[in-house]
Amino acid sequence: MEQFNSVQEGIAELHKRNTGNKKVHALLTFQHNNHKMCKTCFLFESKEDAGAQLIKAYVQLQISNVPRNEMQAAIDARQVAINAELAEGDPAELGVVPEGHAEEFLIDYFDTAVAIAEDVKYVTVYLTHSPCTTTDRKPSHSLHGWPLSCTAKFATLAANHPEYFFSIVFLKKFGTLDGNDTPQRTLKTLSGDRANLAFIELKKEPPYERP
């Protein structure tokens, strides 16, 4: 988690990391009861699963110079080695940090962030990608006691906090939402049509028009 003392700065950082970066980022911002923007905001990033982290950290797990027809065997053998390593070793000692979607880290930190922001009424979350849904290949599953997928988790967060209004703003459509012409409507329906939760696709093209 990174903290910024200006929402503009946080959003600029979010846009910067949206280029050529497969990691998902989430920026948590607040507005007070008087509609004034809270300057403090919080940026979270996704963490890959333990296997992917190990491959990046250990050069001997990186597959190179393998003929195409042996590739699958090499990948399978590597997975066996990774599983053995993780079964035996302490993940923390191996340098592995807990995996999770950016939204999960955000939700985990939510109460702390609200306490720092003070006098919160509106919550706006900016995402590089739309939240995952249960129809995606790997919906988020790392937050104990919370439902599968980040869309369902935001629905639960909004249900837990009827005193706030949540807007989930996203730059790109993720996974099964790709090609969907009404992603806002789809996410709203999937999240149970809650009165205090909205999803907004931020269209990049054409660039933000000014009057």
Which amino acid makes up residue 47? K
Across the beta sheet with 120-129, what order do the strands follow? 2-4, 41-45, 25-32, 120-129, 165-172, 197-201
Nearest approach, Cβ of residue 141 and Zn ion (Å): 9
Stretch that binds Zn ion, among 28-36, 106-114, 134-142, 192-200 (CB under 5 A): 134-142
Nearest approach, Cβ of residue 150 and Zn ion (Å): 3
Nearest approach, Cβ of residue 103 and Zn ion (Å): 5
Q: What is the number of other CB atoms lying within 10 angstroms of the CB of residue 18? A: 17
Residue 124 or 128 having the CB closest to Zn ion = 128
Residue 132 or 177 having the CB closest to Zn ion = 132
Residue 123 or 132 having the CB closest to Zn ion = 132
Q: How many residues bind Zn ion (CB under 5 A)?
A: 4
Residue 101 or 188 having the CB closest to Zn ion = 101
- By CB under 5 A, what part of segment 67-106 binds Zn ion? 101
Residue 49 or 85 having the CB closest to Zn ion = 49
Which amino acid makes up residue 8? Q
Please identify which residue in 27, 113, 127, 132 interacts with Zn ion, judged by CB under 5 A.
Answer: 132
Cα angle 70, 73, 78; round to 5: 125
Cα angle 187, 188, 191; round to 5: 80
Binding of Zn ion by 140 (CB under 5 A) = yes
- By CB under 5 A, what part of segment 142-161 binds Zn ion? 150
Sign of CA dihedral 127, 128, 130, 135: negative
Q: Which residue in 76, 210, 186, 51 sits closest to 200, CA to CA?
A: 186
Binding of Zn ion by 133 (CB under 5 A) = no
**Residue 132 DSSP symbol:** P
Q: Note the residues at the interface with Zn ion (CB under 5 A).
A: 101, 132, 140, 150
